[in-house]
Amino acid sequence: MGSDMAVNAESIQSVLFVGLGNMGNPMARNLVASGFNVTVADLDPARVDALVHAGATAATSLTSAAESADVVMTSLPGPTQVDAVGEQLLSTLKAGSIWIELSTNDLDCGRRLESRADEAGVFLLDAPVTGGAEGAEAGTLSVLVGGDPDAHRRVLPILQAIGDRCDRLGPFGAGYVAKIASVSLCYTHSVCLTEALLLGVKGGVEPARMLDVIQHSTGRSYVADRYGPEILNGGYDDTFALELAAKDLRLAVEMAGSLDADLPFTAGVLDLYRSTLDTYGAEAPHLIAMQAIERANDLVLHERQLATPEGATQ
């Protein structure tokens, strides 16, 4: 962005929020609850109606809403959707407006849009979020921001309505890189947690007790605390789809290639997730991939958990 461009905080009167899925919906609601004038858009009219009932305004069309918006926020499934929506936004956004892109996206798509945003005089911040659906509900997400420091400073009150960490990590693209790196670790953790649980249970430890040991040992992690119970209860966390998890891992492996990074463990986890898509389907809960590991070991943990009397040892 040229140095002659400036963001005026006082001019930020309206926010357009695009994408009301499991993450976007609670983020938009938290913006409304914080007193921002929010217009919402989504392909699902029911999602829009729910936000209107919460105090938002429904966009009559994406382009007309973008024309009058001071800040646009997008929370979309991946690069394909970000690219398509971005083309519409950048054809109508006014110069000096700010686009906060909250999706998990790749650098190629982001850089194409950054170039177009610069030509249009629009400040584009990559700002993917992490913290899960529960963090989106509570407004405690970590927002990983890359881009113009002045634009980041000006929209900080907006970011603080959805997260409790809203750090600028560097120039444009830094947020995307940080998000993809962190989520690849999350999926790898899930695989290693499942293997550790299987090893313990096969050795005679009751599933819930094995998870408790992990949660109070050097192997403790967010994944063990949040996803361990989902593996043992057979729910496999339906707040995030298997297809989206596989997409995140694909982005990680592709990014590694573009940055000359060798990530064999991540590539192996991607292979696992891709293979389970054919078995369980795109909309299955993301942790269902762990069941492939369980079945390869002839031990489905939630079935063993149900069969084991509480407090008993095996």
Catalytic machinery residues: 179
Is residue 104 within 8 A of residue 248, CB to CB? The reply is yes
Question: Strand, helix or coil at 80?
Answer: helix
Which CA distances in Å does 138 have to 22, 95, 292?
13, 33, 32
CA 62-68-73 angle, 5° bins: 60
Look at the block and give the residue holding tokens 């006082």.
10
Largest CA distance in the chain: 70
The 8-class DSSP code of residue 16 comes to E
Question: How many other C-beta atoms can be found within 10 angstroms of the C-beta atom of residue 61?
Answer: 11
Using the CB atoms, write b or e for 150-164: b if 16+ within 10 Å. Answer: ebbebbeebbebbbe
- Which DSSP string do the residues of 125-176 spell out, in sequence order? EE--EESHHHHHHHT-EEE-EES-HHHHHHTHHHHHTTEEE--EEESTTHHH
Question: Strand, helix or coil at 259?
Answer: coil
Q: Which parts of the chain are beta strand (E)? A: 15-18, 38-41, 57-58, 71-74, 98-101, 123-126, 129-130, 141-143, 145-146, 163-165, 168-170
User: What is d(CA 241, CA 158) in angstroms, rounded to the nearest whole number?
Assistant: 27
